[in-house]
Amino acid sequence: LLAICGDDNPQNRVHWSESWTGEVTNLFRFYNLMTKILDDLRARFPGRSFCFTMDNLNVHTNPMVVNAILNDGHKFVFRAAYYAIDGVIEYTFNTQQTSLMVFYNKLEHLDDLANRSDQIINKIASFRP
């Protein structure tokens, strides 16, 4: 799982991620990550609201997730149907995937994957023109 908070101020850019083996993303995992993100946003940016942009994966649209976002004073937007060459979500995941392929043979543990992912995300430039 990967979430990125973009901001014009580089000091306010932050991301969260979780990795595991053997299971798919389920509501329990996603909801736990979302509550960590919401707690972190509340602590880092008191009183500020954000807009979460997500695709239409069923765990993203679950009422528990949506209500957690709304109850913290944020908004959300579900993207249109997936289209591989359009949008920030696709750009970020495609950049992550192609960059990780360079290091595929050097990734032996989940910690290696998490560390390399952090490095890649931190190198992604601003999405502003």
Specify the pTM. 0.65
Is 26 a residue whose pLDDT tops 90?
no
Establish how many alpha carbons lie within 13 A of residue 39's alpha carbon, considering only the half-sphere containing its beta carbon.
7
Is 107 a residue whose pLDDT tops 70?
yes
Residue 62: predicted pLDDT: 92
Both tokens of residue 72? Answer: 């913290």
Q: List, in sequence order, every residue forming a beta bridge with 16; answer none if it has no partner.
A: 3
Both tokens of residue 116? Answer: 């390399």
